[in-house]
Amino acid sequence: MPDFAVVGQPNKGKSSIVATLAENEDIAISSKPGTTRKATHYDFSVDGKLLYTLVDTPGFQRANRVLQWLEAHVEDASNRVDVVRAFVAEHRDDPKFADECELLQPILDGAGILYVVDGSKPYGPEFEVEMQILQWTGQPRMALINLIGEGDYQEQWRRALDQYFSIVRVFNAMLADFDTRTNLLRAFAELNEAWRSDMEAAIKALRSERSRRLHRSATEVADALIACLSYTGQQFVDEGDATDGVAQSLRNALLQRIREREQRARQQVQSIYRHDRMRADETDLVLLDIDLFSEEGWALFGLSRTQLLITGAMTGAVAGFGIDALLGGASLLLGTAVGAAVGSLGSWFASDELAKTKVLGQQLGGKLVQVGPLDAANFPWVFLGRAWLHHDLVRERNHALRSVMSAQMQDQENVMDQIPEDLRRRIAQAIGTIRKEGASSRTRSQLQACVEALFQLKLESELAGNKRPVYEVPPAF
């Protein structure tokens, strides 16, 4: 399988690139120079099959002295690689050249070269020394211009890099989405014809894995919603005791149970996309930390009153349709509209109306009080709207980021109004059946398919003008 050594000066984003391409959030990333001191191999596998290996290396420290030694020992261009090998063999235990030996060894072992520079800083002649050393190894070479800061010296860098590298790409390790990453892997295949079939297979495997991850995420969210729609709380109350306090306590416990189930679903989705460490930041999520049962959250993530009414009408208000039939259509479907309005707009939002309280008959010495299941019409839409945004953020987030996941949605409301009418109708039908009859294998599969279709849609939000989630980029690279 292809190996790629990521090399360059300290603090240019090498570890970030490795973390992104290896999908490994355990790789240490810091703005402090010298964080990487040993060449470390990171295998990237899918379904147990190794696709490629990335080598995170220390940065060049004494490139000028290395090149001086090489030039003093070379006879002609034909033995440059041998001279580089001789340098590493002679200085392997010399602490002055420990970093150079660490970064050169995997290249001498056959790794392709990914040379990383900071395109936000001007080009300087000192970098040419590093390029010459890498050129002496004879290995296939690609340069990556990583934009770390605010400056932009891409063209200056390109003019210099084109003289030493067959391929030059701009690659922001922090903000690279899936398509950007796969395009870079496709460029790797251009470095060496022998790697082409392996890299094409890697890209195909990655795309298949992405589809599987989406399916597994949709299954997890659908199962979580079905569970939340089934939860109830019960408590035995002595004869003559008031039930109001018990009902409120049961209602609070029920809502908390639903919150915790949503949280577990989020964590599972993050794990599916290899973002387990994001769990520590979960309480800091912007937007997604809005309480599941807040009025603000319902206005943002659920259906608008109008769409809730329309969806209720589309899925058929049985009682209303009966009125229309009796009137021979003279009501112009007014009965259906009224029936849908009653079903759809009831329990729009009120914390004490989310789940009804029932007294399940008198029992010896008391009565059984039950709260739930949750019957607020907009709850499933709010739940799915939050899951849609969360999945959209997690799916595109790369593994170099160490910041809190966040998105900005200025002046946004009723996220679920965005989805196509047909999908909204299918979701409403599945949820309606589950609420009335419980979840069968058929209705569970229907809802899972609906959530998968939802997750495949592009979430349109007012995000920095590009309709994509915006991430807070930390100062660490």
For 310-325, what is each residue's pLDDT tens digit? 887 766 543 333 334 3
CA separation for the pair 149, 139 (Å, rounded): 30
332 or 361, which is more confident: 361
* Model confidence at 125: pLDDT above 60: yes
Query: Based on the number of CB atoms within 10 Å of its own CB, is 454 exposed (0-12), middle (13-18) or buried (19 or more)?
Result: buried
198 within a domain of the structure (yes/no): no
For strands 366-374 and 355-363, give the pairing.
Answer: antiparallel
Q: Region 202-231: what's the mean pLDDT?
A: 95
CA separation for the pair 383, 450 (Å, rounded): 14
| pLDDT tens-place string over residues 27-82 | 776 655 555 568 899 988 888 888 889 999 998 999 999 999 999 999 888 899 99
> What pLDDT does 314 receive?
64
Q: Region 272-296: what's the mean pLDDT?
A: 67
Of 310, 317, 308, nearest in space to 346 by CA = 308
Element (H, E) at 141: strand 141-146
> Quick one: 57 and 172 in the same domain?
yes
Kindly report the number of other CB atoms within 10 A of residue 78's CB atom: 8
Is residue 340 helix, strand or coil?
A: helix
> Quick one: 345 and 443 in the same domain?
yes
* Model confidence at 335: pLDDT above 50: no
| pLDDT tens-place string over residues 365-387 | 678 889 989 988 899 999 999 99
- Which of 157-161, 274-278, 446-450 bottoms out in mean pLDDT, i.e. has the lowest? 274-278
> Quick one: 178 and 264 in the same domain?
no
> Quick one: 257 and 114 in the same domain?
no
106 upstream amide cis, omega within 30 of 0: no
CA separation for the pair 386, 224 (Å, rounded): 13
Q: Pick from 156, 191, 226: which residue ends a domain?
A: 191
Kindly report the number of other CB atoms within 10 A of residue 390's CB atom: 23
pLDDT bucket at 396, cuts 50 / 70 / 90 = confident
**CB-CB contact of 437 with 328 (8 Å):** no
Q: Domain range for residue 399?
A: 211-456
> Quick one: 271 and 355 in the same domain?
yes
* Model confidence at 408: pLDDT above 60: no
> What pLDDT does 326 receive?
37
Q: Region 402-424: what's the mean pLDDT?
A: 71
**CB-CB contact of 375 with 355 (8 Å):** yes
pLDDT bucket at 405, cuts 50 / 70 / 90 = low
> What pLDDT does 306 receive?
85
> Quick one: 79 and 185 in the same domain?
yes
* Model confidence at 464: pLDDT above 50: no
Of 282, 277, 281, nearest in space to 264 by CA = 282
* Model confidence at 461: pLDDT above 80: no
**Mean pLDDT rounded to a whole number for the chain:** 81
| pLDDT tens-place string over residues 424-444 | 999 999 999 999 999 999 999
Q: At 462, phi and psi to the nearest 5? A: -80, 85
What is the number of domains present in the chain? 2
* Model confidence at 252: pLDDT above 60: yes
pLDDT bucket at 134, cuts 50 / 70 / 90 = very high
CA separation for the pair 395, 457 (Å, rounded): 12
Query: Based on the number of CB atoms within 10 Å of its own CB, is 242 exposed (0-12), middle (13-18) or buried (19 or more)?
Result: exposed
* Model confidence at 13: pLDDT above 90: no
Of 391, 396, 388, 393, nearest in space to 408 by CA = 393
- What CATH number does residue 52 fall under? 3.40.50.300
265 within a domain of the structure (yes/no): yes
431 within a domain of the structure (yes/no): yes
For strands 49-56 and 3-8, give the pairing.
Answer: parallel
Length of the chain: 477
72 within a domain of the structure (yes/no): yes
Kindly report the number of other CB atoms within 10 A of residue 446's CB atom: 20
44-49 contacts, C-beta under 8 A, 24 or more apart: 44/202, 46/205, 46/206, 46/208, 46/209, 47/205, 47/209, 49/205
Residue indicated by tokens 């892997």: 185
> What pLDDT does 122 receive?
93
* Model confidence at 415: pLDDT above 90: no
* Model confidence at 249: pLDDT above 60: yes
Q: Region 384-405: what's the mean pLDDT?
A: 78
> Quick one: 162 and 248 in the same domain?
no
> What pLDDT does 328 receive?
40
* Model confidence at 400: pLDDT above 80: no
> What pLDDT does 398 receive?
75
* Model confidence at 468: pLDDT above 70: no
Q: Region 226-254: what's the mean pLDDT?
A: 89
* Model confidence at 258: pLDDT above 80: yes
> Quick one: 358 and 226 in the same domain?
yes
> What pLDDT does 219 receive?
98
> What pLDDT does 30 receive?
60
Of 123, 120, 88, nearest in space to 106 by CA = 88
> What pLDDT does 242 receive?
78
462 within a domain of the structure (yes/no): no
264 within a domain of the structure (yes/no): yes
> Quick one: 150 and 257 in the same domain?
no
199 within a domain of the structure (yes/no): no
282 or 184, which is more confident: 184
CA separation for the pair 444, 438 (Å, rounded): 9
475 within a domain of the structure (yes/no): no
**CB-CB contact of 390 with 266 (8 Å):** yes
CA separation for the pair 402, 477 (Å, rounded): 9
> Quick one: 183 and 267 in the same domain?
no
Residue indicated by tokens 């019957």: 375
Question: Residue 415 is encoded by which pair of tokens?
Answer: 């996220």
**CB-CB contact of 231 with 258 (8 Å):** yes
> Quick one: 176 and 221 in the same domain?
no
CA separation for the pair 261, 226 (Å, rounded): 11
Q: Pick from 191, 226, 256: which residue ends a domain?
A: 191
* Model confidence at 178: pLDDT above 90: no
pLDDT bucket at 448, cuts 50 / 70 / 90 = very high
Is residue 243 helix, strand or coil?
A: coil
Q: Region 437-456: what's the mean pLDDT?
A: 95
CA separation for the pair 44, 292 (Å, rounded): 37
* Model confidence at 142: pLDDT above 50: yes
* Model confidence at 350: pLDDT above 60: no
> Quick one: 447 and 353 in the same domain?
yes
> What pLDDT does 365 receive?
66
